[in-house]
Amino acid sequence: MNKPFHRVLGFGPFTLDINRRQLCRGEGDVALRPKSFDVLCYLVEHPGRVIPKEEIMQAVWPDVIVTDESLTRCVSDVRQALDDGAQALIKTIPRRGYLFAGQVSLLPAGATAARLDDPVHVNDDRRDWLRLGRWALAAGAAAALILAGQRLWPSALVPVERPAIAVLPFANEGGDTRQAYFAEGVSEELITSLSRFDALFVIAPGSTSRYRDGPSSPAEIGLELGARYLVQGSVQRQDEQLRITARLIEAPSGRQLWAESYDRALEGLFAVQEELTRSLVGQLHARITRSELGRAARKPPERLDAYDLTLRAGALMRGVQRDRRGETIAAARALYQQAVALDPHYAPAVQGLANTYLWAWIDPSLDHPIGAEFQQPATLEQAETLARQAVDLDGTMAEARATLGWVLNWRFGAKEGIAEFEKAFAANPNFVDFRFGLLLSHSGRAPEAVDYMKRIMKADPFHPPIYGYFLGKAYFFLGRYQEAVDLIGPAMRRMPDHRPSRALYAAVNAYLGQAEETKAAAAEVLRIHPGFSIAGWMKFMRISDPAYAARLRSGLELASLPE
């Protein structure tokens, strides 16, 4: 039987021995209180990511309710121990949390950092390369163990061979605000293409969109997103002519590594996108196989006007969580229908159209006549027909397979949905879809759902509140009620009309014995869903795992919701 792996991490002149609970500077021990040591471990094991205070407190004090003051005191202890008064290693990100900005190395057991003899300058590239060279033998040993089938580092410690990259929204040049959707579509297509490479870790577009108008520096953006490289660019469209500029930036230093501009006729857009993808990947990773490059190239539409209509519809759907959702979905559907009429073989348009039917079927709070499609069998059947058509047109399109997987979940159960999602991940290793977390939970695989949701939260640091709800639901099924309520509550408050989060919030508070919270939550459920019944809700949820279904039903009964 294999022995447990002995984890030793190095950063600057420090060595952190996780198993022995020992922090050393050179050959000398550095004293830390137990909880302060736990806080340091959590930060070092998740470098380059802004970690919310709530997440750290849940990890360090899982069964105790603590205040921010306890965490602040521990962070102060750690900074004092690391001589980090300037906050070069542990950065406070206002209103967001903490970020460990050091370069973390995996060291052999028994190693000390004395041989590194580097002062703590975490963004000095020359020292990074020296450090990498000094530990090349250790890395070689690590690689040998990997080949032997042993897992050496936690998922948060991304190996240096897999650089993290964020594509920022391309600027819309030319002054025509009506073309903003086009520039946004170009940058999102680039994200999709780059994310198909196993060699790259690509930040999700939901987190990069917040930098559309912001003046943030590359270093600040890199720190907030946990990205080493940034892609910035602009798009200018005038009549049938197109100019696209792009540049690759090293985030910590702000240094420009590569830049290019493309002047083409509009019909040459897809060749430009493919050329741009190849150039960026070539800069970031020296060895890209022909098959990977082929996988990254999405099939272009036969007609540019179909592509344009699809971009317009996609821009509408990205704002669907705002007010007047029914009108928004109906408008997007009309655009997708026009695109499909022009080019019936363009998979993104067909997939987008399928998604509008899926939204109409699943969302009970839609305004507009489209709201009448809620829970109508014909609506879900149409969504399935279109999703299958999109997959048939382009089996490598992860979004199409995910849409089909979500439809199959509601038609036949989580098992069928999961199978299709797994094909989506095979087509695109960096594909992110929070709905997969729900399928895992509903099928009895809540521990996997927890791992998956945490991983995609890292890929999308500024994720929408639904992520917290799905992670909280996984904790609920595991009986970890305090962790569940701490996530579901904030998510629920950011989604005013979201019925599932309110029903689950009532159930989890009932298990915790919080009578007043339970009563208020149950009343809110009945206010926004006057016809609520436990039997109807359980049928709607389609939870295939009997134990998980029983846990939810019992919680709803404890909350005194009607049978």
pLDDT digits (tens, 9 = 90+) for 92-132: 887 788 999 888 877 655 554 433 333 333 333 333 333 33
Nearest to 383 by CA among 405, 414, 415: 405
d(CA 251, CA 377): 50
Window from 28-37, 77-86, 172-181, 195-204 with minimum mean pLDDT: 195-204
The share of the chain scoring above pLDDT 90, in percent, equals 33
* DSSP 8-state secondary structure symbol assigned to residue 108: -
Average confidence (pLDDT) over 436-451? 94
Average confidence (pLDDT) over 194-223? 75
Residue 83 has pLDDT above 80, yes or no: yes
pLDDT, the chain, mean: 80
State the pLDDT at residue 381. 96
Residue 418 has pLDDT above 90, yes or no: yes
What is the pTM for the complete model shown? Answer: 0.58
Phi, psi angle pair for 457, to nearest 5°: -65, -30
Ramachandran area for residue 368 (φ above 0: left; ψ -120 to 50: alpha; else beta): left
Of the ranges 1-5, 23-27, 146-150, 511-515, which is most confident? 511-515
d(CA 182, CA 242): 11
Window from 266-280, 386-400, 490-504 with minimum mean pLDDT: 266-280
Confidence of residue 145 (pLDDT cuts 50, 70, 90): very low
Residues 6 or more apart from 181 whose CB is under 8 A from it?
311, 312, 314, 315
Phi, psi angle pair for 342, to nearest 5°: -75, -40
Window from 28-42, 212-226, 528-542 with minimum mean pLDDT: 212-226
3-state secondary structure of 390: helix
The share of the chain scoring above pLDDT 70, in percent, equals 81
d(CA 563, CA 557): 8
Confidence of residue 479 (pLDDT cuts 50, 70, 90): very high
Q: Are strands 201-202 and 171-173 parallel, antiparallel or unpaired?
A: unpaired
Query: What secondary structure does DSSP assign to 483-511, as a single string?
Result: HHHHHHHHHHHT-TT-HHHHHHHHHHHHH
State the pLDDT at residue 216. 74
State the pLDDT at residue 511. 97
Average confidence (pLDDT) over 398-425? 93
Residue 143 has pLDDT above 70, yes or no: no
Nearest to 358 by CA among 338, 331, 385: 385
Of the ranges 266-275, 277-286, 525-534, which is most confident? 525-534
Residue 144 has pLDDT above 80, yes or no: no
Average confidence (pLDDT) over 245-270? 81
State the pLDDT at residue 112. 47
Which structural domains are found in the chain, ordered by start? 8-147 (1.10.10.10), 164-297 (3.40.50.10610), 319-325+344-558 (1.25.40.10)
User: In terms of C-beta distances under 8 Å and separation of at least 24 residues, what long-range contacts does 191-195 make, across chains too?
Assistant: 191/167, 192/298, 192/428, 193/273, 193/274, 193/277, 193/296, 193/297, 193/298, 194/165, 194/167, 194/277, 194/280, 194/281, 194/296, 194/430, 195/428, 195/429, 195/430, 195/431
Residue 312 has pLDDT above 60, yes or no: yes
Contact 414, 439 (CB under 8 A): yes
- Number of Cα atoms under 13 Å in the Cβ half of residue 523: 6
Joined tokens for residue 204: 């999700």
Joined tokens for residue 145: 């163990």
State the pLDDT at residue 280. 67
Measured between alpha carbons, how far is residue 474 from residues 422, 435, 440, 448, 500 in Å?
19, 12, 9, 9, 13
d(CA 563, CA 553): 10
Measured between alpha carbons, how far is residue 147 from residues 150, 152, 248, 316, 384 in Å?
7, 11, 33, 47, 42
**pLDDT tens-place string over residues 341-358:** 999 999 999 999 999 999
Residue 228 has pLDDT above 60, yes or no: yes
Confidence of residue 78 (pLDDT cuts 50, 70, 90): very high
Residue 296 has pLDDT above 60, yes or no: no
